[in-house]
Amino acid sequence: MRIIAALGMVALLAACSSGTTDGAGTPAADAGPVTLQYWCWGQPTKDKVEAFNKAHPDIRVQHTDTGGGTDTAAKLLTASRAGNAPDVACVEYQTLPAMIVAGALADISAHTADVKDAFSPEVWSLTSFDGAVYGIPQDVGPMVLVYNRARFGELGIEPPATWEDFAKTAAEVRKKDPGAYLATFAPAEFGNFAGLAQQAGASWWTVRDTTWTVGIADPASLEVAAYWQNLIDEDLVKAEPLLTPEWNNQLNKGKILSWPSALWGPSVLYGIAEKQAGDWAIAPLPQWTPGDERVAFQGGTALTVTKNSKHAQAAATFAKWMNTDKAAYDIQIAKGEYPASLAGQRATGESEPPPLVAGQKDYWQVATKAAQSTIPHLSWGPNVSTAQSAFQDAMSAAVRDKTPLAEALKKTQQAVVDDMKSTGFKVAGP
């Protein structure tokens, strides 16, 4: 079914984009407005595109919601190989290297000199590699603990400051309300685990002189696995997939009390637990070392310009406007998305918190603090999708069969290294 839908989408867009390239081929058409195809998902997208179109009579952007980061990446790769990718597409930071290696994205460094300083160096480094720029950052997801403050109050517990406290709090929750869990260990949450491991000091991919090192099963990652292993073994967290009808139901009943995720967490939860608006809040993510403040990014997207695009300049103009203009980031903030640009982040100070956390007065302060404490740039590898699917299957099997999570990590590491070697990458180690 999904294949058919994807093929249908590709065919449809092929029809659209071939229409536009025909028009642009003739010199006379250059006078008229340029039409750009744009693939993205996320709540603020539609309104932002409308605002852009209103402000730019010479560029018309046609937006298609291609559904989520993984789906969009799959469609973008397929369309790109067929030569009819859209002009601009949203790509998650973790997928960027894979897209670059697939030859899908254009280097837009010639057009970005004027916006480079609109972003912090950490954020800018998410999309630029060795001077080449492959996208304009749209939103970032510094990790925070999203928790049900109302239920925390009922049970008389506080958001834990360290992971050690987090385990103690989890035990307390089980004692005070045997039907409830402090949190979930979702075996399919690749990005989440990567973020937690990075916070502990892991480094999953590094590259030096074209030789890669893969550290998915490095000591820090194994330590994080051991930590969650213990919580699962003691029945202190719920080990099951997130955001399923089952999980949503438990959350709505107040039986899942927190979600260590990122700043986009509240808007995701609002989508499934509207009734709990105002009950939730965010707190800094627990730390491995007391007094530490650093957190990783989880998720977040950039607007990229494809190699297939015939209108790189107009596409870059669009990508820049979408992520630096006041009108654009105001829409983002109103929908609960945390902007990547410095001006956007500053503007959050005067904004209302998103509906799920409406009761939290210091929401944006906590958010800004998290954003300022992010670890510079987790380097993602060229085959993150392989890593992700290997991770998800190995972790799910480990949770199901009650085998060690550490073994699942090692299995993932091996699958990633084997895949990179067979593609022709130089990889250090076995």
Residues forming contacts to other proteins in the complex (CB under 8 A) are 1-3, 6, 70, 74, 77-78, 81, 97-98, 100-103, 129-130, 132, 187-188, 207, 210, 240-241, 243-246, 249-250, 253, 382-383, 385-386, 388-389, 392-393, 396-397, 399-400, 419, 422-425
User: In terms of CB distance, is 229 or 317 closer to other proteins?
Assistant: 229
Owner of token pair 């939290």:
360
In a 3-state reduction of DSSP, which class is residue 280? strand
User: In terms of CB distance, is 61 or 90 closer to other proteins?
Assistant: 90
- Residues 427, 430: Cα–Cα separation, whole Å: 8
**Cβ of residue 361: shortest distance to other proteins, in angstroms?**
34
**Cβ of residue 352: shortest distance to other proteins, in angstroms?**
33
User: In terms of CB distance, is 211 or 230 closer to other proteins?
Assistant: 211
User: In terms of CB distance, is 133 or 224 closer to other proteins?
Assistant: 133
User: In terms of CB distance, is 141 or 382 closer to other proteins?
Assistant: 382
User: 195 is written with which tokens?
Assistant: 């973020």
- Residues 159, 138: Cα–Cα separation, whole Å: 29
**Cβ of residue 383: shortest distance to other proteins, in angstroms?**
8
**Cβ of residue 77: shortest distance to other proteins, in angstroms?**
5
Q: Using CA atoms in the order 278, 280, 284, 288, what is the torsion angle rounded to 10 degrees?
A: 180
**Cβ of residue 322: shortest distance to other proteins, in angstroms?**
24
Q: What's the DSSP call for residue 349?
A: G
Please state, in angstroms and as integers, the Cα–Cα distance from residue 194 to each residue in 217, 235, 282, 364, following that order.
11, 23, 20, 25
User: In terms of CB distance, is 211 or 372 closer to other proteins?
Assistant: 211
User: 102 is written with which tokens?
Assistant: 């697939």
- Residues 221, 198: Cα–Cα separation, whole Å: 8
Q: Using CA atoms in the order 99, 105, 108, 114, what is the torsion angle rounded to 10 degrees?
A: -50
**Cβ of residue 125: shortest distance to other proteins, in angstroms?**
13
User: 12 is written with which tokens?
Assistant: 């449809």
Angle between helices 245-252 and 265-272 in degrees, nearest 10: 90
